[in-house]
Amino acid sequence: MSEESYPQKELCKQKGIRQAENELVTLIQDALDKTNYGDLEESQFRNLVRVSDTTESAEVIKNFIRYQVGRDKKWGKGKGSLAERIIVDIDNNIKKNSQAIAECCQADYKPIWLELIRRYLGARHLKYLRDGDKP
């Protein structure tokens, strides 16, 4: 790879990631609004965000979600649960977006996929749902 093409690829990837943000926020809002889960606390969701920030593996993130489901019912269980929806979004919508960005930028999709997952999980809709309509 030439010296000049690396910065251009990075700019292309960053632009694609920024352009995907609106859809990512919509996906997580929809997941939080339309799935079943218990009294999920912000701190529990932040722990998931922390895991996503400290790994380079989508499988580690999904494994953490499954671990949380095994611990309690706050993430929901089975079909229609928040946990299942997040994993489906990671494996389908988010992965497809990352592959499209990677193809356009001629780059590896995995680092883009992880960045999109992090941005998806970084949405702040849960705080609104828990406290947004309180005086």
- The per-residue DSSP string of the chain comes to --TTHHHHHHHHHHHHHHHHHHHHHHHHHHHHHHSB-----HHHHHHHHHHHHT-S-HHHHHHHHHHHHHH-STT--STTBHHHHHHHHIIIIIHHHHHHHHHHHT--HHHHHHHHHHHHHT--HHHHHHHTT--
- What average pLDDT does the chain have? 91
* The pLDDT of residue 118: 95
* The pLDDT of residue 18: 95
Task: Read off the pLDDT band of 23 (50, 70, 90).
Answer: very high
- pLDDT higher than 90, residue 114: yes
Across residues 98-122, what is the average pLDDT? 96
